[in-house]
Structure 1
C-alpha cells in the first residue's frame, strides 16, 4: 500500500488520502469469470474485508468459498504477526491478501492471481466505487465509526457482534444505516441456524406454556493479562498502533492490549459478556419475541474483577438479572457452559446446547409432537449467515439479523456490564432507552463514551 504523510494529529491529510485512494483504484485488475464460478459478474457482490484477526480470517475464508461474491480488498492496521488467539496464528493484512490470491489462483488461467489490494486505513476501502459491501471484523470500539462511514459511502455492511461498544453508538449506527438505505447484517450467526430457529419458534408458539425464566451462559476469560505494575512495550513495526486505538483513549502499548486480547478491556469491548453474551442473550431475545424492545430492569447479582491497575479490567465473572414487563426474568452468568440458552415455561423446558447444534425439550414429547425430531444437528453457521447477507445485498430484503436486532440484543450485554460495574439494581426504559430511578444519572453517563480526535460519531 502507498505510504501516507500523517497530519499533526496522526491521521492522513485529506488531500494525501484522496490521492492515495484514487491510485488504488486507477487500474483495476481484470479477472476471468472462471475464477469466481458460474455466477455472472454483474450479480456477484464485491467485498472489502476490514479486520483480519481471529474471526476476520475465518470470515475471509468462508467468503472466499462463496461463489456469489468477490473479495477485492483486505484491510488491517497490522501488516502481519503472531499473537492472536493461538500462538501459531499468523494474521493481518499481508497473510489475508496471500489467502485471497492463493484461493483465486487455483481457478485462474495459469494459476496466478494478483487482484487483491491490501490497505492499512479502512477509508481507502470505502473510497472504492467497485466495492459493494464491507465486512467489519474489528475490535468493538471501531464498529460504530466504521459502520457509519460505510453507510455514508453507500456500502452495505456485515458487522460482527456485538453491534457496538455502547448503546448510544448503536442507536447512531441504526439511524445511519436506515438514513442511507443500507443492508446491515449483524454477525449473530445463530439467526441463520435452522436448529435455533426451530427452538425459538417452539418457545414463541406456546409449546412450553408461559415462559417465566430464561438462563443464558457466558464463557470465562480464556486469556491472562498482566496485573498491576505492568510496563509499556515498544510498538511493533508491523502495527499502526495509533490507528488501532482510533476512537479509544490514548494508552501506552502492550501486546496484551491488542489483537485477540482487546475484548478483556472496557475501552475496546465488553468482556466475555459482550462476546459470548451477544450469542446467548440474542437467542433469549429471539425466543421471547422481544426483538424490538428489552427489559425494564437490570440487577447485578455478583461481579468479580481483577485487581485495580491490571491491564484487563473487564469483569472476570458476572451474574446479572434482566426483568421484562411481562414478568419474565433472564439470568445471565459466567460458567463453563454446556447450555447456551434455557427457556423454562409452565409446561416444560427447551434447552439449547452450547454449540447451538441441537436442542432438547423436557418432556421430550414436546419436540415429537412438533415434528422436530429430525432437525439436523449439522449446519453451516457462519457460512449460511454470510449467504443470507449476500442474498439481501442483491435483493434489498431485510437480513436475518438486521441492525435493530443486533442493537437490542447487544443492549442486554451493555446493561449487564453497566450494572456489574456500578453494582445494584437499575430501572430501564426500553422505549426511551435510558435508565430510570434514583441512580439513573450515573448509569446514563455510561451509555456513551468520549471518542478521540476525528472519530466522533
Structure 2
C-alpha cells in the first residue's frame, strides 16, 4: 500500500530533525550567554519590510534602534513610534539622509530596505563605514552593482545577511536535505512559478502630480532618471518599472530561484531565454505581465513561469512555488509546506504500484525571526550567515539575466568568468546588445561608489 510516510520516517537517515534541535539548543544557549551584549541598529528605508525587520530584531531583546531614515517623513515617524513602543518609550532619532546613520560610530548594524535602485549605493557606503548589513532582496538593481557589492563585503570584512528568509525555514531545509541525500534521484528539471490575476486594470493608471507633503522625491529617485512624480511609480508599485526594480522575477522569483540554486548547488546558468510581454494589464508598467524563462544549468533545465493575468493551475495551490523533478519522483515546495509524489518502479506494469520513493506531505510556515537571529549571531561571531551576499549574487545574476534576455529579445549565453553575455555556447561572439543591460546610467550626484 502506498501510504504517505511521516516526516520522521522520511528523514530518519538524514538526521535533519535531530540536527535542527541541536542547532536550536545551541542558539538558545548563545543568546542566554550574550543577553547583555546589545547591538545598535540604524534603519534605512522605513516601509513595510524595513519596519518589520527592525521589529524582529528588537523583539530578540538584543538590539536597540538608534536612528531611522526615510525620504517619506510619515513613514519614518511611524517606524520610530513602533520602535519606541517595543523599547518601552525610547524613540530613535529621525534623520533626513542615510549618511547621517552611517556617520554614527555607535551604530553596529544597518537595515537596508529601500527600493532596489538604492540598495547598492547605500550598501557600498555602509561597508566603507564599517557597518554590518541586513539587506532586503534582491541585493541590487543590476548585475554590475551586485559584483561591486560582493567585492566591498570582502574588502571591508562585513557580515551581510540578504533577506531571502526561506533558507532559515525548517521545511525548506528538510526538502533540501532530502534532495541532497539523493532520495529524489537524479534531477533533470526544476520549475518555479508565480501567478495571480490582476486583469484587466492591473494597478491602474494615475496622472502625474506633486509629491505628497513630507516626501523628498528627488532623493527617492536617487540614481534613477528624473521624472515627474506619479503615484504609480512610488510606494507599493515602484517594483513594476525597470527604472527602480526587475519586476516579478526580482520580486518573487528571487526567493524561489534562491532555493533552486541553493539546493542544486549550481552557481550560474549556462544560457537563458525569455519570452513574454505586457499583454493584458491596462496600466503603464514597463515590466512584463507574462513571462516564461528557460535556464540551462548544464546538468538540468529550469523554467520560470510568471502570470499576472491568469489564474492558478489545477495541480498546485497558492500563487507561488517550485518543483524538483527527479528520477524517483517529484518534490513540490512552497512556503505552505512540501510534498513528494513518488514514481512507480515499473511504469509499464500497471498492476505494480510500488514506488521509487514514498509519497509524503508536510505543512510549513513562514517565520522571519530565525533569519534575523542567524544574522545577529553572525554579527557577534563574525561567521558567515545563512544567506550571505556571496551566495546571493549568483541568484540575482540568474534573475536579472531573465530580464536581459527579455529586453534583448533573444537567447543569451553567460560567461561566469568574464561576467558577460555571448551569442553562442562556445562564448566566442560577444552579445553587445545584451551586455548593455548589465548595468545602468546613474544620475549625476548619485553615482555608484568605487570599491
TM over 0.5: yes
Partner of 1:297: 271
Distance 1:220 1:148 in 2: 35
Alignment of 1:25-104 (within 5 A): 43-80=37-74, 92-104=75-87
- Retained in 2: the 8 A contact 1:257–1:311? no
2:105 is the counterpart of 1:129? yes
Q: How far is the alpha carbon of 1:416 from its aligned partner?
A: 0.7
Q: Deviations over 1:235-279 (max 9, x none)?
A: 222100011011111111011111111101100001111000111
- The 3-state SS of whatever aligns with 2:152 is helix
> Given the two structures, how large is their TM-score scaled by the length of structure 2?
0.81
Q: How far is the alpha carbon of 1:232 from its aligned partner?
A: 1.7
- Retained in 2: the 8 A contact 1:220–1:316? no
1:422–1:64 CA distance, 2 compared to 1 (3 A): same
- Retained in 1: the 8 A contact 2:191–2:304? yes
Distance 2:147 2:222 in 1: 20
Distance 1:128 1:237 in 2: 28
Distance 2:107 2:147 in 1: 26
Partner of 1:257: 233
Partner of 1:440: 431
1:260–1:175 CA distance, 2 compared to 1 (3 A): same
Partner of 2:193: 217
Q: How far is the alpha carbon of 1:307 from its aligned partner?
A: 8.7
- The 3-state SS of whatever aligns with 2:72 is coil
Distance 2:384 2:34 in 1: 23
- The 3-state SS of whatever aligns with 1:325 is coil
Partner of 1:318: 291
Q: Deviations over 1:34-88 (max 9, x none)?
A: xxx98767622111111111222222222221112112211111011xxxxxxxx
Distance 1:39 1:68 in 2: 11
Partner of 1:11: none
Q: How far is the alpha carbon of 1:406 from its aligned partner?
A: 1.4
- Retained in 2: the 8 A contact 1:158–1:185? yes
Q: How far is the alpha carbon of 1:429 from its aligned partner?
A: 1.5
2:306 is the counterpart of 1:334? yes
Q: How far is the alpha carbon of 1:130 from its aligned partner?
A: 0.6
2:447 to 434, 452, 456: 456
Q: Any stretches of 5+ residues in structure 1 without a counterpart? A: 1-36, 81-91, 106-112
Distance 1:39 1:232 in 2: 55
1:345–1:127 CA distance, 2 compared to 1 (3 A): same
- The 3-state SS of whatever aligns with 2:226 is coil
Distance 2:77 2:252 in 1: 29
Alignment of 1:214-293 (within 5 A): 214-220=190-196, 224-226=202-204, 231-290=207-266, 293=267
- Retained in 2: the 8 A contact 1:221–1:316? no
Which stretch shifts more, 296-305 or 260-269?
296-305
Distance 1:41 1:343 in 2: 41
Distance 2:442 2:356 in 1: 50
Q: Any stretches of 5+ residues in structure 2 without a counterpart? A: 1-30, 344-354, 424-428
Partner of 2:117: 141
Q: How far is the alpha carbon of 1:119 from its aligned partner?
A: 1.5
Partner of 1:359: 338
Partner of 1:110: none
Which stretch shifts more, 166-175 or 412-421?
412-421
Distance 1:426 1:343 in 2: 24
Partner of 2:14: none
Partner of 1:388: 374
Q: Deviations over 1:2-45 (max 9, x none)?
A: xxxxxxxxxxxxxxxxxxxxxxxxxxxxxxxxxxx987676221
1:391–1:232 CA distance, 2 compared to 1 (3 A): same
Alignment of 1:188-227 (within 5 A): 188-220=164-196, 224-226=202-204
Q: How far is the alpha carbon of 1:135 from its aligned partner?
A: 0.6
- Retained in 2: the 8 A contact 1:38–1:67? no
- Retained in 2: the 8 A contact 1:300–1:321? yes
Distance 1:220 1:72 in 2: 39
Which stretch shifts more, 52-61 or 385-394?
52-61
Give the number of equivalent residue pairs.
391
- Retained in 2: the 8 A contact 1:226–1:312? no
Q: How far is the alpha carbon of 1:306 from its aligned partner?
A: 6.8
2:147 to 171, 192, 211: 171
- The 3-state SS of whatever aligns with 2:400 is helix
Q: What is the aligned-residue RMSD (CA, Å)? A: 2.4
2:94 is the counterpart of 1:118? yes
1:287–1:103 CA distance, 2 compared to 1 (3 A): same
1:146–1:208 CA distance, 2 compared to 1 (3 A): same
